[in-house]
Amino acid sequence: MTLFSAEIVSILLGLLLVGSCACLYGYLREQQRLRAEQQLSRRLAFLNKIQGLAVSTFDVEEMLGMVAKEIRRDFGHDYVGIGVVRSHGKDKDKQLEWQAEAGAASRLLGKPIPWEEGILGRVAREGISVLLQNGEPELLREGLLDNSRSRLCLPIRHDGVMLGVLDLESLQPNAFRTEEVEVFCTVAGYLADALQNATVFHRMQEQAIMDSLTGLKTRGYFSEALRAELKRAGRTGHPFSVLLLDLDNFKAVNDTQGHLQGDHVLAELGKLLDSHSRRSNVVARYGGDEFVILMTEATTEQAEAFAGRLRSWIGSEPAFQKMQVTASFGIATFPFHGSTPEDLIQAADSGLYASKKRGGNCVSCAKPPRSPEELFQGKWAQGLERGNPDLLPVNDLVDMPG
């Protein structure tokens, strides 16, 4: 006896099939939703990590290096590179300096890329994004990665100002999905904020250690450098010298020609001292029209010779000659004139006072302590007074390597 007719059985089977398809469709939709959530979670975690790296340090090279490695680790693209714009004034003098790389073509680090050159130059000049996915001839010709088949170049901009370029390349065609491009655009935004913050930080740091009028280091910076050099010289046993100088007749310039002209004299002197000093020297404005130079690994004789040359350069400068401005110098050398910052500055200042007392436009240095026991104790400085006869004048110096 048949319980169901063939028609009913057919209907039931159809309903069962529809129900199964609906369940399967629901299952697939749920799996798709879960995968999308997982992908979104990974994307957000990645962006959160990149944002953390971008604000972890004001050392631009270190920060960009960490970001490049993290991008490659997370996405697996064959090459990641980040260049920073270096400007020398006009657009034609700008260039990209490659500061971070990760991947197979890591060979451009530290190298400049001309502003007008290739895809990277175009991205930097025009501020556009470039996506090449199918091994276009332009890509094969200009890719930083040999045999590159896909390339994404993004501008790094902050408030319309071009700061750099993010470059990603792959050996696979169609390597960059739409959602990936969106992620990397966000990364470029993070990098723009980080580079701008680093620029502001370094500018403020520079202002804190730089005298705004002369462009030289500040007295505070010099004091720190002197303490550091004392520690280093104590370990190595090498001498170093402190050269203190003060302008002669500078007060007359301010009194007769005004403080603006006086400021101009100080600014010009700052340029002269900086341009004629070794890179290892620390040149600072000590206060007013008084300047100081820390000469690393320089003996008294070398410091005297250098001071003599400076005296001649200042005396022969037309702008200074016109106002009858010259310079007086005082010199102290570690360890012969003391082993503390106070000892050395006081010895140099005493030499400077002696030069002034002799009429200016000359170089003087203090005699070292006569007693070896006093050499590293600084006791001689406690009784040192201005005009002390233990001051040696230095005249008609012969040029020696400074």
User: What phi and psi values does residue 106 have, to the nearest 5 degrees?
Assistant: -65, 85
Strand, coil or helix: 398: coil
- Catalytic (active site) residue 289: yes
- CA dist 387 and 374 (Å) reads 21
- CA dist 135 and 145 (Å) reads 12
Contact 329, 243 (CB under 8 A): yes
Options 246, 289, 343, 349, the catalytic residue: 289
For residue 173, is the peptide bond before it cis, meaning its omega torsion is within 30 degrees of 0?
Answer: no
CB neighbours (10 Å) of residue 130?
Answer: 18
Name 19's Cβ contacts closer than 8 Å, sequence gap at least 6: none
DSSP state of 136: -
Q: Report which residue type is found at 102.
A: A
- CA dist 166 and 67 (Å) reads 11
- Joined together, the tokens standing for residue 230 give 């004392």
Query: Cα–Cα distances in Å, from 327 out to 69, 121, 143, 268, 398?
Result: 55, 50, 58, 13, 18
- CA dist 81 and 165 (Å) reads 8
- Exposed e or buried b per residue across 366-389, where buried means at least 16 C-beta atoms within 10 angstroms of its C-beta: bbbbeeeeebeebebbeebeeeee
Contact 53, 82 (CB under 8 A): no
- CA dist 2 and 96 (Å) reads 85
Contact 333, 241 (CB under 8 A): yes
Name 391's Cβ contacts closer than 8 Å, sequence gap at least 6: 350, 351, 354, 364, 365, 366, 367
- CA dist 145 and 124 (Å) reads 19
| Angle, CA 66 vertex, CA 61 and CA 68 arms, to 5° | 95
Any idea which residues carry the catalytic annotation? 289
